[in-house]
């Protein structure tokens, strides 16, 4: 069945590979999801039709089985009435229904197999669609990051050794010089503050010693 072949192709498809190889990954994954949704709808429709066909075949099978039994009962009745010719005709009719019954029985089995195959395909395709939908945002984001990184890398390579690079180096040296000057000023300020504190502490120590000497002198 062509439908099952198309579904099988979609189920086997590796979404990551499709995105990696596509020139426009975002468009590619959206198209894959759309194809899966369309095929899913077709498979659902086909499953419903196949189940309906199965019910029709099963009904036909039951009718033929009943006809087979009915004509055999008639043959038995004719035998009881000692009408061999009628009994023979009834047996022949029963055998005809039996042959048709076997044909319908085989068709029912084949139809059941087809329904199960379609149900399996429907389940797998539904899972594949859910996987594609859950991965779509992630894969698109990954592609965008990769594309942005490529542009940034190209921009870095384009700088090369030209005037842009030279201007950048000059700016970097100027910044380093300014940082060094600021650092030196901060160190000088720190040294000045420390000197002032040391002078203050020295005066306090002098005052203390002086007061100590005065107290001893008074006591003496």
In this prediction, residue 203 carries a pLDDT of 78
44 plus 64 within the same structural domain: yes
140 plus 176 within the same structural domain: no
Judged against a pLDDT cut of 70, whether residue 143 lies above it is answered with no
Judged against a pLDDT cut of 80, whether residue 90 lies above it is answered with yes
The percent of residues above 90 in pLDDT, for the chain, comes to 25
Of 196 and 83, the structure prediction assigns the larger pLDDT to 83
pLDDT band at residue 34 under the 50/70/90 scheme: confident
Judged against a pLDDT cut of 80, whether residue 4 lies above it is answered with no
19 plus 113 within the same structural domain: yes
124 plus 18 within the same structural domain: yes
25 plus 119 within the same structural domain: yes
Domain of 181 in residue numbering reads as 165-220
Give, to the nearest 10 degrees, the angle between helix 2-12 and helix 84-159.
Answer: 30
- When divided into structural domains, the chain yields a total of 2
Average pLDDT for 157-169 = 53
Phi first, then psi: what are they for 81, rounded to 5°? -90, 5
172 plus 152 within the same structural domain: no
143 plus 194 within the same structural domain: no
14 plus 30 within the same structural domain: yes
> How many CB atoms sit inside 10 A of residue 171's CB?
10
> How many CB atoms sit inside 10 A of residue 74's CB?
17
89 plus 191 within the same structural domain: no
Alpha helix (H) residue ranges in the chain: 2-12, 15-21, 25-80, 84-159, 163-219
142 plus 211 within the same structural domain: no
């Amino acid at each position: 069945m062509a439908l099952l072949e198309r579904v099988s192709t979609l189920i086997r498809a590796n979404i990551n590979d499709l995105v990696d190889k596509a020139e426009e990954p975002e468009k590619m994954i959206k198209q894959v999801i759309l194809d899966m949704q369309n095929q899913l709808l077709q498979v659902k429709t086909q499953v419903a039709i196949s189940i309906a066909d199965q019910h029709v075949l099963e009904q036909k099978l039951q009718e033929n089985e009943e006809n087979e039994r009915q004509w055999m009962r008639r043959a038995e009745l004719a035998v009881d009435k000692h009408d061999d010719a009628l009994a023979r005709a009834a047996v022949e009719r029963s055998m005809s229904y039996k042959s048709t019954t076997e044909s319908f029985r085989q068709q029912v089995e084949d139809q059941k197999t087809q329904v199960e195959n379609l149900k399996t395909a429907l389940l797998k395709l539904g899972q594949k669609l859910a996987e594609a939908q859950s991965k779509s945002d992630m894969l698109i984001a990954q592609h965008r990051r990769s594309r942005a990184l490529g542009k940034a890398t190209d921009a870095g390579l384009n700088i090369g050794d030209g005037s842009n690079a030279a201007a950048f180096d000059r700016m970097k040296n100027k910044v380093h010089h300014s940082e060094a000057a600021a650092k030196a000023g901060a160190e000088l300020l720190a040294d000045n503050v420390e000197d002032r504190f040391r002078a203050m502490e020295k005066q306090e120590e002098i005052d203390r010693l002086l007061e100590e000497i005065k107290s001893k002198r008074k006591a003496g």
